[in-house]
Amino acid sequence: MKPIRLKNKQALRRKRSNRSALNSTSERPRLSVHRTSKHIYAQVIDDMTGRTLAGCGSTAGGFSSDLEGKTKTECAAFIGQEIARRATEAGVKTVVFDRGPYLYHGRVKALADAAREGGLSF
């Protein structure tokens, strides 16, 4: 099997394994994190209705001046604060954290810590 296919297959297995352990409800939607080599994205998703309640990412046009000159970890912390603010505006206070196939380390941990400081509990 080609190395990139193997890598994608292993990431999909990790994501499914992690998500199978999560129990999200309408009262506790899922805070899903996706990261690339340069950017990070976060969404608050209600799995019962299949709707995204709040979302933001480091590629949003309104954040370009706020994120300029920051490291990737600092950008992730900023996105964590922003997703917490948007989720609170949408009426969500508690969430289930879905790290996807990524380890709870570095940028993912920075986003989670900043979301907690912003008012979300998980």
List, as one string, the DSSP characters of 21-71: T----SSS-EEEEEE-SS-EEEEEEETTTTEEEEEEETT-GGGHHHHTT--
Instruction: Check residue 63 and give its pLDDT.
Output: 87
Kindly report, residue by residue over 21-37, the tens digit of the pLDDT: 888 888 899 999 999 99
**Strand, helix or coil at 93?**
coil
CA distance 38 to 16: 24
pLDDT at 18 over 90: no
pLDDT at 19 over 90: no
Instruction: Check residue 13 and give its pLDDT.
Output: 93
Instruction: Check residue 85 and give its pLDDT.
Output: 97
Instruction: Check residue 80 and give its pLDDT.
Output: 97
List the CATH code of the domain at 3-117.
3.30.420.100
The share of the chain scoring above pLDDT 90, in percent, equals: 82
CA distance 74 to 86: 19
Nearest CA-CA partner of 115 in 96, 103, 15, 18: 96
Q: At what angle do helices 107-117 and 72-89 cross, to 10 degrees?
A: 40
Instruction: Check residue 37 and give its pLDDT.
Output: 95
Mean pLDDT in the chain? 94
CB 106 within 8 A of CB 73: yes
pTM for this structure? 0.89
Kindly report, residue by residue over 43-60, the tens digit of the pLDDT: 999 999 999 999 999 998
CB 14 within 8 A of CB 8: no
